[in-house]
Chains A and B, each alone.
Chain A
């Protein structure tokens, strides 16, 4: 099974790109957490552990032929959906949200693997589905049900960020497959009452507050608008060249919330300025384009869809996180892939990259 071609075709560029971003992330976490009164292992060391674990996972994923996923796709989907249901019943509640579930010896957050699983599921579905000049409404019915079930369950936890991401990933894949203009228009028309209903009955007050505050952060500068304002101050005060490593006042004096996780990029922007941000944005753009390139070079439909899905997952994480810290989007707890501290995000992203590498190095095998 281990072909020599696998090694020669290994996507070193992608690995290098990911490692560069991870390294910058570690350095940034060192700065972001340097003001914390830490107990035990410092965050940047723990992040290094996570990166190592992630790389191992990534290489494991890419050593197994991704076509296996095609066979397991619905089983995976069913399993994770079951766990999502289970979370609602026996989940662990912390900070007002029920996202975690005890699985004997470890605790997991089933909404996170759902990001990957929805990609696999959609790739599996559309790889065998005939499409003539875009998807009609009828064509969309089944996939939308596949998407709707986990999305609603995740929203119910509530975890708005992940729900939106799952929808956006699936939506991007649908666009890649091709949707008819008429179907799109109809969907949008139908979405209006749905969004209204969701606003009225599904969204929690704190989520509404976040949206209100995003629209006008000055309404309550000390309250929930605080995060956006402080983050914008941090980013903007970095100016062209930044305040220098470990010299960001907003971060070192803890004016930023969640500064080693969701707001890690604010810390970076404050200390490295526009030049640093430019480098990061270019690196991420390169990552996304590389992923899409893998999709376009892949000769089989499943692999191509998979690559687009993974690229979309990374893309939306990046856009939503960066957009949030610079005040383009409301505050939703979405981490920046490979950059924010955290094992969950690292595992998901590394699995995604593993899939991309997998596809990349097997494209000549058919």
Chain B
């Protein structure tokens, strides 16, 4: 021991123990914290570490196609090439922009703008600098790949509408999913930025069309640079939807409607399959997928003919005289009339203090059922309606599927209105007036129907009592052509009427088209017997006004029909908004649609488009005229009623 011990009581051992205990305590604290992080919070922190490194890059599945009943393509996908830049792979930004600008014929600034807009994004994320480039440009870029490091050419399928605007309402359009849709249950599997069907078939059959999106789980480093693909799920293409619609009939329907606002629905009488579903005017569905030019959008919104509305599905119109079919059926079934029950029509009917006018001011004179339907005598139906009362009319209307949506399989189908006294009390809190019944009897007043319902109604008359669910989709087919789902006719109701009722009503409808004084002569076909009913429904009470009525106050023109008369196959309902007379505005449209149907079946010869070398006659109508006499040869002339007495009438639709 050296003599340094003059230092008093240096309690070495005790202090060392204290320091050791301190060290113990500190290390225990460290261990406790490690335990907390690695045992208690481990799962949560592990998740965070996974979130750090893994990113999901979705790959949208190509949408399924939409085909017509014969497999003709209505909507498909077409490749669209876009040029994108992956910032992490770019070596020389300035030079690359110069090259791209030169190769793509773009403004340098334009590329730079798009580039800087995506600056905040992760470095592995492709930044689209030009989209919709041509195939030539694409190939040129591919050839010059070496001088374009970091450039990616992407092929993205975009929707292609094979026939342009055709059936735009029916097919619908797609667009980026909206905030509202994202929060709804229907789209709970979707992510922001996904494209979904926004209307029509695209929307209603989204589940089948969409396909399953794939994606890549990628690993990125702390700077967000792509390192490797961890997992890849292939996207699988959506299924194709095969419609019941016939492309040719759809085309004819839309051509026949032309510029006029209106709708036409053609239906298979024996299955409920919809053959044509036209709403006019059309819109361009491709505009909705991309960026809609504001002036176009404004144009659509301001057009009085409401191009964006699917009138076949959602247009609600007073059925006018087409409703007389229901009134007549109600009268026959209730035993209030028979075929000989007659009414004297002086051109008006005085009821209480008011006078209800017949459209024929001179009056029809002596009228029984067949003539009442043929010439659409209002007075006959006023009197019948008066005796029936509104509730009995409504009973039969509803038996024919009117007044409620039929479930055609598109979103937002309208149901129309079939008024009853109870309905009025509930709706307006007022009791029903007898006078209102007279309006209902001729399809005016509160009665509202959609073109789809009218088509279904006349189809049910044609097939004598079976209401098939009108449907637009025949089957769902997957990518390999395997049928996943097939839609068979579904009976949603039976009217349960006496066969005699149908016989009498149908005879009347035959007369409408085929007899002199019939209001629907313009729907007549030379080769096939058509039966139908015209209608003009009042928009406002302007019956007395003379001269030119402003467009928006003109009557709607309606026509419902079926053919062939003996063994009905096709039913058609047409409405031309403000077309004034069903017989002149709507009946020819229906005629052309039915002609197209029978042309498709080979019952009517198609006019040869460029005829001049073949015939001396001028114009397209000529072959049809010549074909007319041939028709009876193919098929024996049907018995009832005089056959086409006025051959030129058959060509009228063509001249429309």
Contacts and interface: CB of A to CB of B under 8 A. Distances in A.
Does B bind A?
yes
Interface of A: 35, 127-132, 172, 175-176, 178, 230, 232-240, 249-250, 253-255, 269-270, 273-274, 277-278, 281, 284-285, 288-289, 292-293, 295-296, 299-302, 304, 308, 311, 315, 319, 322-323, 326-328, 366
A130 B8 contact: yes
Interface in B8-47: 8, 10-13, 15-16, 19-20, 23-24, 26-27, 29-31, 33-35, 37-39, 41-46
Given A176-B15, A292-B16, A319-B26, A236 B1 contact: no
B6 interface: yes
Given A176-B15, A255-B222, A249 B33 contact: no
Contacts of B50: 249
Interface in B35-68: 35, 37-39, 41-46, 48-50, 52-53
Contact of A254 (B6, B7, B24, B223): B223
Q: What are the 5 tightest A-B residue pairs by CB atom distance, in nearest-first order?
A: A236-B45, A239-B42, A237-B49, A236-B37, A296-B16
Contacts of B52: 230, 233, 249-250, 253, 255
A255 B15 contact: no
Contacts of A233: 45, 48-49, 52
7 contacts: A35-B221, A239-B42, A240-B39, A249-B52, A281-B31, A292-B23, A326-B30
| Chain B contact surface mostly | helix
B27 A366 contact: no
Contacts of B45: 232-233, 235-237
B427 interface: no
Nearest to B223: A254
B410 interface: no
A253 B12 contact: no
A301 B42 contact: no
B287 interface: no
A90 B20 CA distance: 42
A249 B50 CA distance: 8
Given A277-B34, A285-B23, 4 more contacts: A250-B53, A255-B221, A273-B38, A315-B26
Interface string B490-518: 00000000000000000000000000000
Contacts of B223: 254
Nearest to B29: A328
B86 interface: no
Contacts of A288: 23, 27
Given A253-B227, A255-B53, A284-B27, A274 B38 contact: yes
A92 B10 CA distance: 44
A214 to B, nearest CB: 14
B24 A285 contact: yes
Contact of B30 (A175, A255, A328): A328
A172 B39 contact: no
A238 B49 CA distance: 10
A178 B8 CA distance: 12
A319 B30 CA distance: 8
Given A249-B53, A254-B221, A130 B7 contact: yes
A100 B88 CA distance: 36
Nearest to A241: B38
A129 B219 CA distance: 63
A285 B45 CA distance: 27
A35 B221 CA distance: 10
Contact of B46 (A239, A254, A315): A239
B43 to A, nearest CB: 8
B469 to A, nearest CB: 56
B2 interface: yes
Given A292-B20, A300-B2, A234 B38 contact: no
A296 B42 contact: no
| Chain A contact surface mostly | helix
B482 interface: no
Nearest to B1: A366
Contact of A285 (B27, B37, B46, B221): B27
A175 B19 contact: yes
B140 to A, nearest CB: 35
Contact of A235 (B2, B10, B16, B34): B34
B7 A323 contact: no
A297 to B, nearest CB: 9
Contact of A308 (B4, B19, B39): B19
Contact of B39 (A239, A281, A302, A326): A239
Contact of B38 (A35, A277, A323, A327): A277
Contact of A326 (B12, B37, B44, B221): B37
B130 interface: no
A220 to B, nearest CB: 16
Contact of B16 (A253, A281, A295): A295
Nearest to B30: A322
A232 B49 contact: no
A249 B45 CA distance: 12
Contacts of B24: 285
B129 interface: no
A74 B656 CA distance: 117
Interface in B573-606: none
Given A269-B38, A326-B37, A281 B30 contact: yes
B96 interface: no
Nearest to B19: A292
A253 B39 CA distance: 23
Contacts of A296: 12-13, 16
B7 to A, nearest CB: 5
A23 to B, nearest CB: 21
B343 interface: no
Given A253-B221, A274-B34, A236 B44 contact: yes
B10 A131 contact: yes
A302 B4 CA distance: 10
Task: From B27, B34, B44, B49, name the one whose CB has the most chain A CB atoms within 10 angstroms.
Answer: B34
Nearest to A304: B12
B1 A250 contact: no
A132 B6 CA distance: 11
